């Protein structure tokens, strides 16, 4: 599929320099009518918000919806399959394309949709906008008023260089083949995790803490079986340009950690002042605010990595019952318990004091060992899939700017 990989000194002369306004129409989204609220139960009308973007995709598992009555008043502000959407307020530069599931969804006023493309492949445009070239153009056209904003005229002024449509389609096909493989691996991991959760329910979900428990099980506290550690408070002035990465909530996506986007502290800070906050392979991390309940297992590829604000680290006291810990802490029952205990201020939070209040049923070591042996293959496969996702993502990200600039060409 790749035609050649020799670096070119300039964009091919037959590629067309243009602006987004010249090859498309830009339309804004719509604020909900005053007094109307979103609903969490599923209707025919999803409402896409800034918080629904994750890694330039729309998370479908946390979507909220509008009622049929509200939809009637904002039905002009919908997106259709293959529209490209772009955030213009707040977290500027988030991009997604609309698939069949999101067809006819309503769009927040903090985004625009890019429609009626002329001689532009929508997937090519999507990949251009998420590339460094596209993001640089977005930044150039962002302005400051009361708040940072990318105005519609700024979106129209975004410059891009377009190859002929067949070449656009070929480039999009190469890049989307990586994303398709990544999506298949993520779907496989979801299936494997569901299998793990079903096994967990079968082994440990039959009893409640106030039941008469069978031999080999007792009621205890989380700290009786897992060690958990609250985060340090790392300030902006402590950030450095390299050395030791540290975690934050935004990095926890798709049950994994995007360490490529991490900030750094000095090795002196990490290995002296904050040494006990350094993470280890197979630790479990859990977000405690905003998007409460995001979680991931620390893999070898993530290290060295340090804990940071609004993320709690868990580690089994016996240093071996990792999969029991993971399935308990990622279970819907546990997350629901945290949500019911969490405090509301501006946002939903939970703290170590909440964890210390939780009772759970603790099996004896023999039962836990047997369970971990059964589930070990599941989680080894999940980890291998995540490693493969990292490799595919890295290759795609290396190709992306080269394909968009014409440095690397494809057969078409």
228-286 pLDDT tens trace? 998 888 888 888 888 999 998 888 988 899 888 888 999 988 898 899 999 999 999 99
**Other beta carbons less than 10 A from residue 139's beta carbon:** 11
Question: In angstroms, rounded to a whole number, what is the distance separating the alpha carbons of residues 168 and 161?
Answer: 11
Three-state secondary structure call for residue 58: strand
pLDDT recorded at residue 148: 86
- Segment 218-228 shows an average pLDDT of 95
pLDDT recorded at residue 8: 47
Ordered domains of the chain (ranges, CATH): 16-163 (3.90.220.20), 217-363 (3.90.220.20)
Q: Is the model more confident about 193 or about 44?
A: 193
Residue percentage of the chain with pLDDT more than 90: 61
Q: Is the model more confident about 254 or about 299?
A: 299
Q: Is the model more confident about 7 or about 294?
A: 294
pLDDT recorded at residue 7: 45
- Segment 331-342 shows an average pLDDT of 83
pLDDT higher than threshold 70 for residue 4: no
pLDDT higher than threshold 60 for residue 41: yes
pLDDT higher than threshold 50 for residue 200: yes
**Nearest 5 degrees, angle CA 33-CA 349-CA 330?**
105
Sign of CA dihedral 103, 104, 109, 115: positive
| Of 63, 61, 62, 55, nearest in space to 79 by CA | 63
pTM: 0.85
pLDDT higher than threshold 80 for residue 348: no
Burial class (CB within 10 angstroms; exposed 0-12, middle 13-18, buried 19+) of 298? buried
12-27 pLDDT tens trace? 888 999 999 999 999 9
pLDDT recorded at residue 366: 95
Q: Is the model more confident about 110 or about 309?
A: 110
Q: Are 298 and 306 in contact (CB under 8 A)?
A: no
Query: Cα(first)–Cα(last) distance of the chain, in Å?
Result: 8
């Amino acid at each position: 599929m790749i035609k050649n990989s020799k670096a070119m000194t300039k964009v091919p002369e037959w590629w067309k320099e243009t602006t987004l306004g010249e090859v498309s129409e830009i339309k804004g989204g719509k604020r909900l009518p005053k007094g109307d609220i979103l609903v969490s139960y599923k209707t025919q009308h999803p409402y896409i918000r800034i918080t629904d973007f994750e890694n330039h995709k729309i998370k479908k598992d946390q979507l909220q919806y509008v009622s049929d009555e509200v939809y009637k008043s904002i039905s002009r502000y919908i997106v259709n399959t293959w529209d490209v959407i772009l955030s213009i307020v707040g977290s500027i530069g988030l991009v997604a394309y609309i698939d069949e599931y999101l067809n006819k969804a309503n769009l927040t006023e903090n985004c625009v949709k890019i429609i009626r493309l002329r001689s532009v492949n929508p997937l090519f445009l999507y990949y251009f906008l998420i590339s460094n070239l596209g993001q640089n153009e977005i930044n150039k056209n962002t302005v400051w008023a009361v708040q940072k904003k990318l105005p519609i005229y700024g979106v129209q002024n975004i410059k891009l260089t377009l190859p002929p449509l067949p070449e656009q389609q070929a480039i999009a096909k190469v890049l989307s083949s990586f994303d398709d493989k990544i999506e298949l691996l993520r779907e496989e991991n979801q299936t494997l995790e569901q299998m793990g959760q079903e096994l967990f329910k079968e082994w440990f979900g039959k009893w409640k803490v106030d039941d008469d428990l069978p031999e080999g099980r007792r009621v205890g506290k989380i700290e009786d079986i897992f060690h958990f550690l609250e985060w340090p408070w790392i300030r902006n002035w402590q950030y450095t340009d390299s050395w030791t990465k540290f975690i934050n909530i935004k990095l926890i996506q798709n049950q994994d950690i995007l360490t490529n986007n991490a900030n750094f502290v000095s090795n002196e800070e990490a290995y002296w002042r904050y040494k006990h906050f350094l993470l280890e392979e197979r630790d479990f991390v859990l977000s405690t605010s905003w998007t409460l309940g995001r979680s991931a297992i620390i893999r070898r590829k993530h290290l060295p990595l340090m804990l940071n604000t609004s993320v709690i680290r868990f580690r089994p006291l016996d240093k071996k019952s990792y999969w029991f810990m993971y399935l308990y802490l990622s279970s819907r029952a546990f997350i629901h318990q945290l949500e019911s205990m969490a405090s509301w201020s501006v946002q939903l939070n939970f703290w170590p004091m909440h964890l210390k209040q939780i009772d759970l049923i603790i099996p004896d070591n023999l039962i836990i060992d047997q369970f971990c042996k059964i589930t070990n293959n599941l989680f080894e496969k999940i980890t291998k899939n995540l490693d493969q996702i990292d490799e595919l993502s890295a290759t795609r990200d290396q190709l992306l700017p080269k394909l968009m600039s014409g440095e690397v060409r494809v057969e078409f």
